[in-house]
Amino acid sequence: MNWEYRQPVRILFGNGMIKQLPKEIIRFGGKRGLLVTSPSFVKRGMAQQIVADAEGLLVEVFSGVSANPDVKECDACAEVLRAQQCDFVVALGGGSVMDCAKAAATICLTDEKITAYVGTGKAVPQAHLPIIAAPTTAGTGSEITSVSVLSDHERGVKAAFSSDGFYPALAIVDPELTYTVPPYMTACTGFDVICHAIEAYWGVHHQPLCDTLAVRALKLALTNLEKAYHSPNDAEAREKMAEASVTAGLAFALPKTSAPHACSYPLTNFYHIPHGEACILTMSHFMRYNAFNGAGERVDGLAQLVGFPNADALASELERMRQATGMRMDLRDLHLDGEQLERLVQASKHPNLLNNPVPVTEEFLRMMYRSMI
Ligand SMILES: NC(=O)c1ccc[n+]([C@@H]2O[C@H](COP(=O)([O-])OP(=O)(O)OC[C@H]3O[C@@H](n4cnc5c(N)ncnc54)[C@H](O)[C@@H]3O)[C@@H](O)[C@H]2O)c1
Ligand SMILES: [Zn+2]
C-alpha cells in the first residue's frame, strides 16, 4: 500500500491557550490583523477582549459571519482585509467563521469574488495572508484542514473547495472556548467529529496514520460527547471533545469525507439542518449499507477497535446517542413530497459519494430518504 502523510499546521492545545495569541502574532511579525468572528463573540465581549490584549496588532473586527456562511460574507470580509491593508487574519469561531476567514485571506489578494471558485472547480490561487485559527466548537477540524465550505444561497449551492493556501499557519485549540456552546450545538458539532473519524477510516483513500488518528478521535468522542452535552462546564469532557475534534480533523484532512457528508450538504442547504446533525442523520444507514455490501471487514473492524462487536452494534449505539441528545431521527416533520424527495436524492450525488467504500446507488439513496419521511 502506498501512501503520503503531511500536516503543515502548527498546533497549540490546552486550556487558556488563547492567551498566547499576542505572543504568537509578534513571533511571526504580524502588524495589522483582522479578527474574524461571529456576532455572539462580540455580544459577549470576548472579541473586544482579544483585540485589547493584542495591543494594536488587531486593527478591526469583522463579525458578519453566519452559520453556513454565504459567499457574500466572504467577499465582504475580503473587502475589509483590502481596505485595512491587513497582513494576517485571526479566525475565532466555529467552522463557519474559520472557513469564511480562510477563503477571504486568499481572495483579498485578488480583485475577484469568491463565487468564481465555489462549486466551479476552478483552482484557487496559492497566495494568501497567514491565518491563525482558534476553533470555538468541537467541531469541524477546519483549523488544520486545507478546506473551506461556503454556500452560495442565491445559486442553491453549498460546496467544499480546497487550496494549500487555506492551511492556517497556526491552530490554537483552547477547550475553554467551547464552554459556551449550548447543548444542542454541542451535540451537532460532536456528531460531526464522529462522522469525520468514521468516514476517514472507511473512505477509499484511508491510510495507516489517518486510521490511527480516526480510531483515537472516535473513542474520545463516543466517551465524552454526552458528558459535554449534559454538563457544559465539565472541563474534562470539553477538553476530550476538543482533542477529538482536532484529531478527527487530522484523520480526515487527507482521506476526505464520504457519503454522510455528501448527503449533509443538501440537507443543510434545503432544510437548514445544522452540519453535524445532517451528517449523523444518514450515518447509521451508510454504516450498515457499507458493512453488508462489501466493506464488512473494514467497518466491523472499526467497530471492534472502539469496543463494539460489529458495525450493526456501533450503528445502534449512534442511534441511541442521537436520541439521547435531541438530534432528529428522521425528516417526518418536514412533510416532504415525492418531488422534494427526488430533489434530495439528486442533490446528494455529491463528489464525496465517490469516497464511500461501497458505490452508492440512486436506488439506495431513494430508499434511505423514503424511510425517513
Ligand atoms: N473546513 C472544514 O474542513 C470543514 C469540516 C466540516 C464542516 N465544515 C463546515 O463548518 C460549518 C459548521 O461549523 P460548526 O459546526 O463549527 O458550527 P458553526 O461555526 O456554524 O457554529 C454554529 C453556531 O454556534 C455558534 N457558536 C460557535 N462557537 C460558539 C461558542 N463557543 N459559544 C456559543 N456559540 C458558539 C455560532 O455563532 C453559530 O451560531 C459548516 O458550514 C460545515 O459545512 C467545514
Ligand atoms: Zn463535517
Predicted confidence at residue 207, as pLDDT, reads 96
Answer whether residue 234 is part of any domain.
yes
> How far, in Å, from the CA of 186 to the mean position of ligand 2?
14
Answer whether residue 3 is part of any domain.
no
* Domains identified in the chain, total number: 2
- For the CA of 97, the closest atom of ligand 1 is 19
Ligand 1 mutation pick, 275, 277, 279, 355, max ligand atoms within 8 A of CB: 275
Q: Give the separation between CA 157 and CA 167, rounded to whole angstroms.
A: 23
> How far, in Å, from the CA of 196 to the mean position of ligand 2?
6
Asked whether the beta carbons of 159 and 352 are under 8 A apart, the reply is no
Predicted confidence at residue 1, as pLDDT, reads 87
Q: Going by CA atoms, what residue is nearest to atom 34 of ligand 1? A: 181
346/273 same-domain check: yes
pLDDT tens for 142-152 read: 999 999 999 99
Nearest to 172 by CA among 86, 50, 274: 50
For cell 458495525, the residue is 311
Answer whether residue 4 is part of any domain.
no
168/300 same-domain check: no
Domain boundary among 124, 143, 178: 178
Answer whether residue 149 is part of any domain.
yes
Predicted confidence at residue 257, as pLDDT, reads 96
Q: With a cut of 70, list the residues of the chain below it in pLDDT.
A: none
Q: Which residues pair with 149 in a beta bridge?
A: 160
Provide the CATH number for the domain around residue 93.
3.40.50.1970
Indicate the angle between helix axes 183-202 and 275-292, nearest 10 degrees: 30
Q: Give the separation between CA 108 and CA 59, rounded to whole angstroms.
A: 16
Q: Going by CA atoms, what residue is nearest to atom 6 of ligand 1? A: 140
174/28 same-domain check: yes
For the chain, the C-alpha Rg in angstroms (whole number) is 20
Strand bridging mode 58-62 / 147-152: unpaired
Q: Going by CA atoms, what residue is nearest to atom 17 of ligand 1? A: 94
Domain boundary among 138, 159, 178: 178
80/224 same-domain check: no
Q: Going by CA atoms, what residue is nearest to atom 7 of ligand 1? A: 140
Range of the domain at 220: 188-370
Q: Going by CA atoms, what residue is nearest to atom 15 of ligand 1? A: 189
161/259 same-domain check: no
> How far, in Å, from the CA of 96 to the mean position of ligand 1?
5
Nearest to 214 by CA among 133, 296, 306, 98: 306
237/341 same-domain check: yes
Q: Going by CA atoms, what residue is nearest to atom 13 of ligand 1? A: 95
The angle formed by the CA atoms of residues 152, 193 and 224, to the nearest 5 degrees, is 145
Answer whether residue 304 is part of any domain.
yes
Q: Give ligand 1 pocket residues (Cβ under 6 A).
A: 38, 40, 67-68, 93-97, 99, 136-137, 139-142, 145, 147-149, 177-178, 180-181, 185, 189, 192, 275-276
> How far, in Å, from the CA of 200 to the mean position of ligand 1?
20
Flag whether the pTM goes above 0.95. yes
Asked whether the beta carbons of 165 and 128 are under 8 A apart, the reply is yes
> How far, in Å, from the CA of 296 to the mean position of ligand 1?
32
For cell 469525507, the residue is 257
> How far, in Å, from the CA of 246 to the mean position of ligand 2?
12
173/192 same-domain check: no
- Chain center to CA of 154: 22
150/296 same-domain check: no
Domain boundary among 178, 206, 222: 178
Predicted confidence at residue 156, as pLDDT, reads 84
Answer whether residue 14 is part of any domain.
yes
194/173 same-domain check: no
198/274 same-domain check: yes
> How far, in Å, from the CA of 268 to the mean position of ligand 1?
13
- For the CA of 249, the closest atom of ligand 1 is 3
Ligand 1 mutation pick, 15, 36, 38, max ligand atoms within 8 A of CB: 38
Answer whether residue 126 is part of any domain.
yes
Question: First and final CA of the chain: distance in angstroms?
Answer: 42
Answer whether residue 2 is part of any domain.
no
Q: Going by CA atoms, what residue is nearest to atom 23 of ligand 1? A: 67
197/317 same-domain check: yes
Provide the CATH number for the domain around residue 348.
1.20.1090.10
Residue 32 backbone class (left: φ over 0; alpha: ψ -120 to 50; beta: rest): beta
201/165 same-domain check: no
Q: Going by CA atoms, what residue is nearest to atom 27 of ligand 1? A: 94
